[in-house]
Amino acid sequence: MLFGSVAVLLGACSQSAHVAATPPPPPAQERIPANEPAEIAQTVTDFEEITRKQYAAGVRPAPRGAHPKGQGCVKGRVQILGGKLPGKTGVFERSHTYLAWIRFSNGSTVKQADNVPDGRGMAIKLVGVPGPKLIPDEKFTQDFVMINHPVFFSRNVSDYLTLAKAMLAGDIPKALKELPTTAKVISAIHAHAVRDMFEERYYSMAPFAMGDRYVKYSAIPVRCPNGGPQPVWPAALPSDPNFLRARMAQRLRQSNVCFDFAIQVQTNAATQPVENAAALWSETEAPFVTVAHITIPKQTFTSSAQQTFCENLSFSPWHGTTELRPAGGINRLRLAVYRASSQLRHALDHAQSIEPNGHETFGPQPRSKR
């Protein structure tokens, strides 16, 4: 999730039973600028340099290119409500319940205290998903990679590269003056204090092509059926640098946690552009439709074995079937950066990337000290 590259530097969802999609089919709205391939290659080089510098400085394991601080990697179930959208919808076409691994994380490229303003991520990996895949990395998975803000901080690859170069040069303020949209999005994310990873709403940010339509998606926290009440946390953020993980563990000791998964279908190509990942798609013009229910059952997830397992998982919006294809420049950038980051960190750690089956089990959890 590329949002975390700069995060350190700085409601209810309407629903509809019917969504009318009028824009032309892909790739009519997708335009690849002539200089984009070179800019993507340069961005990959820059991020590999950042990772190698952190590794040389003693950071172990080699950090993910984004969202290196995992708050928790938990088992879940995703119940697909088939037929909620017309036409070809890939994994959402037929009712089915998939096992899943779900990773919650901080966005910053450095591991920092949870009370520091930052974006937060939720990455879902469905397992046992049949059908032809977009890339050969994994054969039976479908990933959904999200952040707790509805838009990406860069409009396109060119903006992103400008910011990446400024990071390496140590001149972020200058870049933000040149990129007012980026500065505005980062400020909005920093203004939002996160108290509970399970109470955040998460978004795909960038669009995807689903059949002859473009879509975005979102995971929305909801009360579980017959579940307990929402916890009431103190207004002030704790001084514990890992309080978000502690709160996740506390809640999952006591009860299940649930989200709805919803899809927003583009209805107006002019106001809901594909090649501008920083553009907000109005929920009034294009309402979200719930297509699945996510349940994270009561569990303990804090063993070192489970943590190591999770760190060897790779999440990418390009892991999935051909019927849900990432669209737009930022997603084309993600394809290159995510693959390069995964390959580099696994090589540095002499570790194998894992494709899970959802039935993994781990040893006894550490006993709490009294």
Identify the band that residue 28 occupies on the pLDDT scale cut at 50, 70 and 90: confident
**Which secondary-structure segment (H or E) carries 210?**
strand 208-210
% of the chain surpassing 90 pLDDT: 68
Using pLDDT thresholds of 50, 70 and 90, give the confidence band for residue 18.
Answer: very low
DSSP string, 8-26: TT-------S-----SPPT
Most confident of 161-165, 209-213, 316-320: 316-320
Whole-number pLDDT of residue 7: 36
pLDDT mean over 26-49: 90
Are the beta carbons of 353 and 309 closer than 8 angstroms? no
Task: State the average pLDDT for the chain.
Answer: 88
Task: Please give the average per-residue pLDDT across 95-123, as a whole number.
Answer: 93
How far apart are alpha carbons 69 and 61 in whole angstroms? Answer: 11
Between CA 290 and CA 17 the distance in angstroms is 9
Between 53 and 283, the more confident residue is 283
* Residues paired with 289 in a beta bridge: 263
pLDDT confidence of residue 280: 98
What is the rounded distance in angstroms from the CA atom of residue 147 to the CA atom of residue 151? 9
pLDDT, mean of residues 86-97: 95
The predicted model gives 328-339 an average pLDDT of 94
Q: Which of 28-32, 206-210, 248-252 has the lowest mean pLDDT?
A: 28-32
Q: Average pLDDT in the 234-254 region? A: 94
Does 63 score more than 50 pLDDT?
A: yes
With cut-offs at 50, 70 and 90, classify the pLDDT of residue 2: very low
Q: Report d(CA 78, CA 310) in Å as an integer.
A: 19
Mean pLDDT for 29-58 is: 90
Exposed, middle or buried by CB within 10 Å (0-12, 13-18, 19+), for 341? Answer: buried
Q: How far is CA 214 from the centre of its chain?
A: 18
pLDDT-above-70 percentage for the chain: 91
Residue 348 and residue 62 in contact, taking contact as beta carbons nearer than 8 Å: yes
**Is the per-residue pLDDT at 262 higher than 80?**
yes
Domains annotated on the chain, with CATH? 4-230+238-349 (2.40.180.10)
Tokens for 60? 């172990």
